[in-house]
Each structure stands twice: as structure tokens, then as C-alpha cells.
Copies of this chain bind each other. A is one copy, B any other.
């Protein structure tokens, strides 16, 4: 399972895609341990660059990502993870996908509708 963790400070890029719709849900980063946990547990696990620690997606929200397939790219520094997303959305702002803003001219516009209330899920939690 050799991947090139050295190229980018110990991290590879992980693109998370819905296994049925093909929608790209989020982009995260994995260190070697996060990748190993993702493979071994079957739940997508990341390394949080801001919190500097392992992050099991859904650990506070319950919105886990069940791994269906993992691919890697030609230079082995990115993975594409097809998932079944548990719950109404992966984005902590309440959307199905973190990519809810679209470039319109030179402005970012929110083009998706919230699928859940983030305050009800994340309220009071870091």
C-alpha cells in the first residue's frame, strides 16, 4: 500500500466521492496512520491540519463515511475514496457536500440548499 507521504509533509490528499451519485463531497488530508485506519476500519479517517491530530470523520456528528473503494493516482500522493455517507451531509456548515459555493463571474455564490441544521448537530461542540 506504499503511498508517497514524503512529498507533502507526511500528508496525502484524499478526495471523498459519493459512491452512487459521483458527487465530490469533501477534500481532506491523511497521514500514514489515518490512511491505515481508513483501510483497516472501513471508515474515512483524516489528519486535521488545523487541529494537528487524527480525525475520524463523524466522531462528533455521527456522519461517518463508509469506505466502498479506494483508488490512488499515478504519482501515489492522492487517494480517491468512494464512500457511502451516513447522515444528511458531510459539511459542518449543513450541506451535503463541502463544495456548496460556485464561481459566478468573479463571486462565490452559495448554490446548494442546506440538508440539515448544523447547530442541532454541532452546537456547543468544537
Contact = CB atoms under 8 A, between A and B. Distances in A.
Interface of A: 1-2, 7-8, 13, 15, 17, 21-24, 26-27, 39, 49, 69-75, 78, 80, 91-93, 95, 98-103, 106-108, 111
A64 B74 CA distance: 18
Given A1-B103, A17-B24, A70-B102, 5 more contacts: A71-B100, A72-B108, A73-B91, A73-B98, A73-B99
B26 A108 contact: no
**Copies per complex?**
2
A8 B11 CA distance: 12
Contacts of A100: 71, 74
Contact of A24 (B24, B39, B95, B106): B24
Q: What are the 4 closest A-B residue pairs judged by CB atoms, nearest first?
A: A22-B22, A73-B98, A71-B99, A70-B103
